[in-house]
Amino acid sequence: MDYLMLVDKFNPIDMGFYDRVELTEVNGKFMESQAGNRLRLLLKKAEADGIKLKIISAYRSFEYQQMLWEREVSHEMWGGLSYEKAVEKVGRTLALPGSSEHNTGLAVDLGREGDNDVSDDFYKTPESRWLCANAADFGFILRYPRLKEQMTGIDFEPWHYRYVGVEAARIIAAGGLCLEEFLHFYSEKYI
Ligand SMILES: [Zn+2]
């Protein structure tokens, strides 16, 4: 398992990945096994610090992402858009099947206890501040930070955390980097 794998619309997951990935259940959701074990420890430490986090979304199978994608595209076409326009519009907020980090099992969307969906305002909460300070110790990074949109291609997502392993996560957090920068600057040493 390559915990530094880059997955985006230019780098979709190869289909064989789905047969190789090992999953584990964390609070009713699925994660890649090592990422899930680390997430379990993170949630436990958060709770010990008085912070209750909820997993909003974790692993999504290729088929599930495909279903989401097709549903959104047909919804837009019912609304009167051409297929091309519908694909363009949906592509701004939803990843193509195989192009979402959620398809790897390494990504998790987190919220506050009681939340049913991700929130743009999550960054203002104590839960978010706790994650910013502690997630790297468990190998997780804020994957789509503010001001890195040009490099990640994704708007700021205060709820989306990605497992990369503790060593890389600490360097990324300390340097205020995004994964793309880390892969660029440290690739010789780590890959
Ligand atoms: Zn996410």
DSSP symbol at 39: H
Ligand 1 centre from 93 Cα, in Å? 11
Domain boundaries, the chain: 17-60+105-190, 63-99
pLDDT reading at 74 higher than 90: yes
Looking at residue 142, what is its pLDDT?
98
pLDDT reading at 95 higher than 90: no
SS3 state of residue 189: helix
Ligand 1 centre from 6 Cα, in Å? 14
The helix (H) or strand (E) run that includes residue 78 is helix 62-78
User: Residues with Cβ within 5 Å of ion ligand 1?
Assistant: 109, 160
Architecture of domain 17-60+105-190: 2-Layer Sandwich (3.30)
Give the pLDDT band of residue 85 (cuts 50, 70, 90). Answer: very high
Give the pLDDT band of residue 191 (cuts 50, 70, 90). Answer: low
pLDDT reading at 9 higher than 90: no
* Tokens matching residue 118: 């991700």
Q: What is the mean pLDDT of the chain?
A: 94
- Span 40-52, mean pLDDT? 98
Give pLDDT tens digits for 144-185.
999 999 999 888 999 999 999 999 999 999 999 999 999 999
DSSP symbol at 8: B
Ligand 1 centre from 157 Cα, in Å? 8
Considering 8-12, 114-118, 137-141, the range whose residues carry the highest mean pLDDT is 137-141
In 3D space, the residue among 51, 29, 32 whose CA is nearest the CA of residue 163 turns out to be 32
Looking at residue 147, what is its pLDDT?
95
Identify the residue with better confidence: 173 or 18.
173
Catalytic residue numbers? 157
Which sign, positive or negative, has the C-alpha torsion 45, 164, 23, 113?
Answer: positive
pLDDT reading at 84 higher than 60: yes
* Tokens matching residue 172: 């990324």
Could you list the beta-strand ranges (E) of the chain: 23-26, 29-32, 53-57, 107-112, 140-142, 160-163
Looking at residue 66, what is its pLDDT?
93
d(CA 112, CA 118): 9
Ligand 1 centre from 54 Cα, in Å? 13
Looking at residue 46, what is its pLDDT?
98
pLDDT reading at 189 higher than 70: no
Ligand 1 centre from 83 Cα, in Å? 25
Looking at residue 120, what is its pLDDT?
93
